[in-house]
Amino acid sequence: MNYDIKTINEKIQKESAFVDLLTLEINKVIVGQKHMVERLLIGLLANGHILLEGVPGLAKTLAIKTLASAIDAKFQRIQFTPDLLPADLVGTLIYNQKDGKFQTKKGPIFSNFILADEINRSPAKVQSALLESMQERQVTIGEETFKLDEPFLVLATQNPIEQEGTYPLPEAQVDRFMLKVKITYPSKEEELGIMRQNVLGKYAEVKPVVSTKEILKARASMQEIYMDEKIERYILDIVFATRSPKDAQLPNLANLINYGASPRATISMALASKAYAFIKRRGYVIPEDVRAVAMDVMRHRIGVTYEAEAEEVTSETIVQEILNKVEVP
């Protein structure tokens, strides 16, 4: 093996050791939901935010809270409601009568992990405030700009049911989430474990096993993971198939896709693939990594047409068809 790759591989294997520790610690509390936990780690390592979709009671809050506890990071949960204001999120200036000056009161966004619960329940101005912070990783209150702490991971949740009185996220804002993860119900065996754990009232104590510094170091190492041109082209083939399905020998999808994935999808897929390779403790990316993250990266970035809706074809069906058609290098 080439010396560089060997070094990278060894380095990644050494530095990704905490992944197993972290997973073990999270699994003390979270029963099942392996996919969600894995995606949380991808978001954390690839510095991307995650949009979680699932019915209530699937341990979304618990998962991110546990992750925060296991990393020794600050965690805030913000329940998005129709009367929430941007200042409730980012903070505001408060007049101090004693000093006769305005003081900055930082909002809950100044944390490492934010759970934006039911993000679609708040109006557009609050959503924009959050999404802007996510993108810029800084917040301006009054005349002062504050950098947000790193790592900064936003986990927004959406409820697929009860759409009444909600403010659906515009496509441009949804695109800012690196991954959209759909959470499904646990299996029977997993739910048995959940039931026993909760009925007995014995909750395992989660201890910090990783520091935020280690996470930031891992992020830097992750950048060194080797991605061959063949893999890069494979990612491009997948993304371009969403834009020009006919060129990808998928003419049947042409009428079903309104708009394809953005270049942000290409970047996100490359970063998420590297993060997945890191989690798998590999110093190089293989097609398996791309395919593992492709669905979560793309499902919210493809707009379906009315014809697709009428035929009950979802963006997931389209992504799956593309993955089945695009040749693996």
Site residues (CB under 8 A) for other proteins? Answer: 1-2, 4-5, 9, 226, 228, 230-231, 246, 249-251, 283-288, 291, 323-329
Q: How would DSSP label each residue in 63-120? A: HHHHHHHHHT--EEEEE--TT--HHHHHEEEEEETTTTEEEEEE-TTSSSEEEEETGG
Minimum distance between the CB of residue 245 and other proteins, rounded to whole angstroms? Answer: 9
Within 186-262, where are the H helices? 188-200, 212-222, 229-243
Instruction: Name the minimum Å distance from CB 319 to other proteins.
Output: 14
Question: Which of residues 223 and 324 has its CB atom nearest to other proteins in the complex?
Answer: 324
**Shortest distance in whole angstroms from residue 9 CB to other proteins:** 8
Residue 206's nearest CA partner among 78, 5, 26, 15 is 26
Q: Which is nearer to other proteins, 97 or 324 (CB)?
A: 324
Q: Are 131 and 173 a contacting pair, CB within 8 Å?
A: yes
Q: Least CB distance from residue 171 to other proteins, whole Å?
A: 28
Least distance in Å: CB of 80 to other proteins?
A: 38
List b or e across 19-48, with b for residues whose CB sees 16 or more CB atoms inside 10 angstroms.
beebbebbeebbbbbeebbbbbbbbbbbbb
* β-sheet bridge partners, residue 77: 115
Angle (CA) 294-219-113 rounded to 5° is: 80
Find, among 48, 291, 19, the residue nearest to 179 by Cα.
48
Q: Which is nearer to other proteins, 277 or 308 (CB)?
A: 277
Length of the chain, in residues: 329
Compare residues 2 and 97 and give the one whose CB is closer to other proteins.
Answer: 2
Please say which residue, 71 or 225, places its beta carbon nearer to other proteins.
225
Least CB distance to other proteins at residue 35 (A) = 16
Of 119 and 222, CB closest to other proteins: 222
